[in-house]
Amino acid sequence: MAVRNILGIGAGYVGGPTMAVMAARCPDLRIEVADIDEERVRAWQSGRPPIYEPGLDEVLRRGLGRNLSFTSDLPAAIRRAEMIFVSVNTPTKVFGQGMGMAADLQHWEATARTIRAHAPGPRIVVEKSTVPVRTAEAMDQILNEEGTRRFEVLSNPEFLAEGTAIRDLEEPDRVLIGSAETPAGQAAAAELVDIYARWVPRERILTMNVWSSELSKLAANAFLAQRVSSINAIAELCEISGARIGEVARAVGMDRRIGPRFLEAGVGFGGSCFRKDVLNLVYLCRHSGLTEAADYWHSVVRFNDHHQARFAAGIVSQMFNTLVGKRIALFGFAFKADTGDTRDSPAIRIARALVEERARLVITDPQALENARRELADLADRIEFTDDPCEAARGAHAIVVVTGWRQFAELDYGRILATMERPAFLFDGRNLLDAERMFSLGFNVVPIGSPPRLHFE
């Protein structure tokens, strides 16, 4: 019998948008989303989601009151569901074995136990959170511990990127469905294929074994993170050699085998996935005795750490080796534009380094101020926050662009400069602004991946 009632557990950046798009694309399915955080549930249910994601509000409203609802009563929702998607967070462990590397699976396991306790009959459990390889197998063992096989565990990793989540969900490059290589496993996979096939072309839906599916997700993110570290490594060389990163990236990206996307040099990667997933891969390799493979992937993260520290150090050295008492405006705190998410944002490290140098920091961001305040709560008395970038720059010695928000590119920098201290610096960590134009306005411009433009030697 075809699945009709679906439950998504976890209403975060992945679970919320994923279930909202599924509800919009499958009006005949009844979709519930459960989360333990009642406030978050209320926000989603009221049509004002707790996360910022372009296009989400509209998709959400289409589903609410029709076939989409949110609840904090997990046991009741489990009883009603035939297929259960799990999108709970799996952060990097901050304690014990594998600390700082391995994924913390406590929420996943607790969820599996709750499902086992409340599901009255056979269920399909779909692993959506990014997890270490072989997690599905462990979940299978927990869920089916009573002997009778009541649960099929599928791996269906999510590839959405924040800021473009709705488009990524509506038109995914591919959908992966990993299952046990048994008739029951394949039947469960077929049920999930049927759901996606309502809006995704069949040839983009790939079925495979669970381990391939789990590993493909880690591998894809590792390749992407590696690309960012690669272009940033070349950018460092550009800065001292007279080459320009924009020109090099264009030339490299025109090779069809390489392609032009994801070649923007900047302040390094951030976000909830890249560091976590690459470290997960490193842990997996090391644990399996593949030392060289582990070291290879580890260098992607190590380079990123170095690159961020180098950016902050460059601010100090350009500004005559002292920031004491200087007002510095941080333009952006989100880990990238079009999101309010600040998890592992390069801004965190940069802000802390500048405060350490005793700068007076002012942070502005169109979506991430609340998260920024939380992230830097321990420095509250040393940092100002404002949603007005012009206000942030008033009286400042430097502007540091950390997030590539389009709004920042549209400001009147001539007027801004008139309110700043001289000499005024612009550290453009995203190459968002035209360096030549900013230089001719009077800024001392320090871009990423091309030599600085200074009004003094």
Does residue 276 belong to the site contacting ligand UDX (CB under 6 A)? no
Q: Which of 52, 211, 262, 296 binds ligand UDX (CB under 6 A)?
A: 262
Does residue 263 belong to the site contacting ligand UDX (CB under 6 A)? yes
Locus of tokens 């005559």:
320
Smallest gap, in angstroms, from Cβ of residue 4 to ligand UDX?
28
Smallest gap, in angstroms, from Cβ of residue 53 to ligand UDX?
10
Which residues are CB-contacts of 47 (< 8 A; sequence separation ≥ 6)? 57, 60, 61, 64
* Beta strands across the sheet bearing 68-71: 68-71, 30-34, 5-9, 83-86, 123-127, 151-155, 175-179, 205-209
Per CB under 6 A, which of residues 107..166 are in contact with ligand UDX?
A: 158-162
370 DSSP 8-state letter = H
Terminal CA-CA length for the chain? 76
CA distances from 161 to 17, 173, 277, 291, 339 (A): 11, 12, 14, 30, 10
Measured at CB, which residue is nearest to ligand UDX? 271
Residue 305 CA to its chain's centroid (Å):
17
Per CB under 6 A, which of residues 292..311 are in contact with ligand UDX?
A: none
Does residue 49 belong to the site contacting ligand UDX (CB under 6 A)? no
Q: Is 273 one of the catalytic residues?
A: yes
Paired with 71 in beta bridges are 34
Helix, strand, coil % over all residues of the chain, rounded to 5: 45, 15, 40
Query: Which residue number, 108 or 269, has a Cβ lying nearer to ligand UDX?
Result: 269
Does residue 340 belong to the site contacting ligand UDX (CB under 6 A)? no
Q: Which of these is catalytic: 26, 273, 285, 390? A: 273
Q: Are 88 and 108 in contact (CB under 8 A)?
A: yes
Smallest gap, in angstroms, from Cβ of residue 220 to ligand UDX?
6
Q: Which of 108, 269, 303, 311 binds ligand UDX (CB under 6 A)?
A: 269
Q: Are 176 and 157 in contact (CB under 8 A)?
A: yes
Smallest gap, in angstroms, from Cβ of residue 92 to ligand UDX?
14
Q: Which stretch binds ligand UDX (CB under 6 A): 69-77, 116-124, 142-150, 265-273?
A: 265-273
Q: With H, G, I as helix, E, B as strand and everything else as coil, classify residue 360.
A: strand
Does residue 266 belong to the site contacting ligand UDX (CB under 6 A)? yes
Smallest gap, in angstroms, from Cβ of residue 335 to ligand UDX?
4
Does residue 270 belong to the site contacting ligand UDX (CB under 6 A)? yes
* Beta strands across the sheet bearing 425-428: 383-385, 360-364, 327-331, 398-401, 425-428, 444-447
Residues binding ligand UDX: number (CB under 6 A)? 19
Q: Which of 108, 335, 385, 405 binds ligand UDX (CB under 6 A)?
A: 335
Q: Which of the residues are catalytic?
A: 273
What is the contact surface with ligand UDX in residues (CB under 6 A)? Answer: 158-162, 221, 224, 228, 262-264, 266, 269-271, 273-274, 335-336
